[in-house]
Structure 1
Amino acid sequence: MFEKEINFIKSLFPDKKSIALHEPVFKGNEKAYVAETIDSTFVSSVGEFVTRFESMLCEATGAKYAVATVNGTSALHSALLLSGVKNGDLVITQSLTFVATANAIAYCGAEPLFIDIDEDALGLSSSALLIFLEENTTTKDGQCFHNDSGRKISACVPMHTFGHPCRIDEIVNICSEYFIPVIEDAAEALGSFYKEKSAGTFGSMGVLSFNGNKIVTCGGGGAIITDDENIAVLAKHMTTTAKKPHKYEFFHDMTGFNYRMPNLNAALGCAQLEKLSDFVLNKRQLAEIYMDFFKGSGFSFIREPENSRSNYWLCSVLVSDKNIRNAFLDFAHESGVMVRPVWEPMHTLPMYGKCPRGNLPITEKIAARLINLPSGVRL
């Protein structure tokens, strides 16, 4: 039934017996830099590559400061705490996201409040956000409260899904009117731009991920990016067990976390960042090829939103219904081609099923019909 589509995908990756969804490419200085860390013996969270990696992130995104962490989830957890999220608070986000977004909110003792997405960008909808805030919240003394529960809404976490920027400027402006700080979940969006500005640099903080399947990888890793020096200093302190600098004393002045990125991972990341522009160009070329192939078919290719330049971290198509989606997924996997559906929406999971939410018609529509295609850098 889907031989044409699967054979086409195989033709894009002719050197692969089985085709992964998104595997890393190591064709630069990765081995040399990792060997350098081993030779230096500085393989943990102290080392020159961590500093270099943070500097390269600033150069890549235009952010003034970057703080490298062990993964994207730890970066988001720290960013939420730095924004003042406390036990019992609500944090606005989207239901169509990777579970780490909701988990990081839960780590703070807070609860997600789910808002619908835009159909074109797949990220938090600014119009749905505004309607919800107008109809369901009250502001008082520079804070925003949810009317039904009386709980404070202490942050908003929109996600740039699959590298496609959401309408982040509108979201930031709306949240500003309601005294809600914005933390961008840009885990998938390194190398993506909205209105010529890097994803992750619109809110008070942005969060990045460097997991093995991201556009660049450290094996594991994440980062907080920000233009606020005070936030950056505190983020570095908090993620390094909150230890006060001293040549031999161990004094910690707050509850901190062992979230600092090891030098070994940063070395890998530096070599990967040297190739970022090449990776983005390669992946955008792949997106164009997919776009042309699926034109006029029963598959609708998801293009970058207006005013955006996406890294196309994962290329995606929409099909007519869930049955067609599942049939394609089964056929592809039997053929050695790894495709996947989008994540189960957070509001359908047992631990988040009772969280407050707005109406989610677009979320549910997209979740049933979306397929991610193999999207790795082609050598």
Structure 2
Amino acid sequence: MQKVVEYIQKIYNTTEFIPLHEPRFIGNEKAYLNQCIDSTFVSSVGQYVDTLEQEFAKYTGSKYAVATVNGTSALHISLLLAEVKQDDEVITQPLTFIATCNAISYIGAKPVFVDVDLDTMGLSPKSLKNFLENNCKLINQQCINKTTNKVIRACVPMHTFGHPCKIAEIKEICDNWNIALVEDAAESLGSYYKGRHTGTFGKLGAFSFNGNKIITSGGGGIIVTDDEVLARKAKHLTTTAKVPHLYEYVHDEIAYNYRMPNINAALLVAQMENLEKFLQSKRELADIYKDFFATLQMKFVMEPIESCSNYWLQAILFDNLEQRNQFLEYTNKNGVMTRPIWKLMNELEMFKYCQTENLENAKYLEDRIVNIPSSVRI
């Protein structure tokens, strides 16, 4: 463990505290922020919001993008646009950040948990298929859970640490069962599966620009879709459903104040300009870690087959929970921030009564995965 600490200190050329992931502001961030301030358009209307949405759609290969205040709000709106309603059910993975299940719960829907794949750490198409075949039936083109008699309206896979799950296979299964596919792509900007950017396989995809993401505006999120009607509806719902008018305040439905401020968008436009450089640095760091950990007991987590990962958070896999805990304690006490993977969602108090499939792989990973420092090195 001492060897690992010393090597990471060497990589980052410091013996000071090394965070798990910190942002890099090396471009036009200050210039664009100043321009935004000078324009006085610092709230939810301005040229940087428009520019961000256009550039992000172009980068991911989606037709439309709608900026939001954070990734959770992007996922919440995406689920609403996928017609998820109160008392519906949404299939997702138990190995994810809490925001995935929070967004489902905001609607009054309930998560159903199926297992993940060991190689992707994301939702397993095999587990999804088995669950649907064993527990569900199609009635009037609706997927009905035979155990609860509830409609399974959507499926939300998450691309864990930027490693794409088998999203094309998941989409095929969802299409066969008339289930809306909504991608939680919060962590996977710059990641591709079979040559296609994550977040673009489903009806909608949601990304995050939290302070620890590969590019950031401090907070922020974005919705992508190829459906013009859904894109317009997303923009309407995220701007309090205000009907355009020269001066009147008219709102035509209950909606949300979820639009990204122009001042945050200014930061992101500058960050987007260096995204490729950040991705290159991440991949170089992954290669360094791969060679180093090949000589040690723990295993470095590589991108899955047919994928190009952004390596947002680098991860290692231990043989057992005891080794994992010893490593976490030693590194954090010696100035190198490391973190375990999330506690399984079905083990949390608010989700422990949710229906689950066999979660053997998720539990295996929960006990063994650790994230190590992953900041861009420039």
Same fold (TM over 0.5): yes
Looking at structure 2, the residues matched to 335 and 36 of structure 1 have their Cα atoms a distance apart, in angstroms, of: 42
Q: How much has 1:323 moved relative to structure 2? A: 1.0
Task: Specify the code of the residue in structure 1 equivalent to 2:182.
Answer: I
Looking at structure 2, the residues matched to 188 and 339 of structure 1 have their Cα atoms a distance apart, in angstroms, of: 18
Counting only pairs closer than 5 Å after superposition, residues 62-101 of structure 1 correspond to structure 2 as: 62-101=61-100
**Is the counterpart of residue 344 in structure 1 residue 325 in structure 2?**
no
Counting only pairs closer than 5 Å after superposition, residues 204-283 of structure 1 correspond to structure 2 as: 204-283=203-282
Looking at structure 2, the residues matched to 127 and 168 of structure 1 have their Cα atoms a distance apart, in angstroms, of: 12
**Is the counterpart of residue 163 in structure 1 residue 166 in structure 2?**
no
Q: How much has 1:296 moved relative to structure 2? A: 3.8
**Is the counterpart of residue 176 in structure 1 residue 175 in structure 2?**
yes
Q: Secondary structure at the match of 2:224?
A: strand
**Is the counterpart of residue 288 in structure 1 residue 284 in structure 2?**
no
Looking at structure 2, the residues matched to 116 and 11 of structure 1 have their Cα atoms a distance apart, in angstroms, of: 37
Distance 1:72 1:16, change over 3 A: farther
Q: Secondary structure at the match of 2:260?
A: coil
Match of 1:121 in 2: 120
Looking at structure 2, the residues matched to 328 and 15 of structure 1 have their Cα atoms a distance apart, in angstroms, of: 20
Q: Secondary structure at the match of 2:41?
A: coil
Q: How much has 1:59 moved relative to structure 2? A: 1.7
What are the ranges of 5 or more consecutive residues in structure 1 without an aligned counterpart?
none
Match of 1:11 in 2: 10
Looking at structure 2, the residues matched to 16 and 160 of structure 1 have their Cα atoms a distance apart, in angstroms, of: 32
**Is the counterpart of residue 368 in structure 1 residue 352 in structure 2?**
no
**Is the counterpart of residue 316 in structure 1 residue 326 in structure 2?**
no
Provide the identity percentage: 53
Looking at structure 2, the residues matched to 180 and 366 of structure 1 have their Cα atoms a distance apart, in angstroms, of: 27
TM-score for both structures, normalised by structure 1: 0.99
TM-score for both structures, normalised by structure 2: 0.99
Q: Secondary structure at the match of 1:351?
A: helix
Looking at structure 2, the residues matched to 199 and 101 of structure 1 have their Cα atoms a distance apart, in angstroms, of: 16
Q: How much has 1:142 moved relative to structure 2? A: 1.0
Q: Secondary structure at the match of 2:271?
A: helix
Looking at structure 1, the residues matched to 254 and 140 of structure 2 have their Cα atoms a distance apart, in angstroms, of: 28
Match of 1:135 in 2: 134
Q: Secondary structure at the match of 1:270?
A: helix
What are the ranges of 5 or more consecutive residues in structure 2 without an aligned counterpart?
none
Q: What's the CA shift string for 1:125-148, capped at 9, x where partnerless? A: 000000000000011111101001
Looking at structure 2, the residues matched to 335 and 16 of structure 1 have their Cα atoms a distance apart, in angstroms, of: 10
Looking at structure 2, the residues matched to 280 and 247 of structure 1 have their Cα atoms a distance apart, in angstroms, of: 43
Q: How much has 1:15 moved relative to structure 2? A: 4.0
Looking at structure 1, the residues matched to 240 and 264 of structure 2 have their Cα atoms a distance apart, in angstroms, of: 19
Match of 2:147 in 1: 148
Q: Secondary structure at the match of 2:370?
A: strand
Match of 1:199 in 2: 198
Q: How much has 1:317 moved relative to structure 2? A: 0.5
How many residue pairs end up in the alignment? Answer: 378
Looking at structure 2, the residues matched to 232 and 359 of structure 1 have their Cα atoms a distance apart, in angstroms, of: 36
Match of 2:48 in 1: 49
Q: What's the CA shift string for 1:198-233, capped at 9, x where partnerless? A: 010000011000000000001100000011101000
Q: What's the CA shift string for 1:78-101, capped at 9, x where partnerless? A: 000111111101000000000000
Counting only pairs closer than 5 Å after superposition, residues 97-116 of structure 1 correspond to structure 2 as: 97-116=96-115
Looking at structure 2, the residues matched to 255 and 122 of structure 1 have their Cα atoms a distance apart, in angstroms, of: 37
Q: How much has 1:269 moved relative to structure 2? A: 0.4
Name the Cα RMSD after superposition: 0.7
Q: Secondary structure at the match of 1:49?
A: helix
Q: How much has 1:17 moved relative to structure 2? A: 1.1
Q: What's the CA shift string for 1:98-133, capped at 9, x where partnerless? A: 000000000000010001000000000000000000
Q: How much has 1:56 moved relative to structure 2? A: 1.1
Q: Secondary structure at the match of 2:113?
A: strand
Task: Specify the code of the residue in structure 1 equivalent to 2:235.
Answer: K
Q: How much has 1:337 moved relative to structure 2? A: 0.4
Match of 2:297 in 1: 298
Looking at structure 2, the residues matched to 114 and 285 of structure 1 have their Cα atoms a distance apart, in angstroms, of: 35
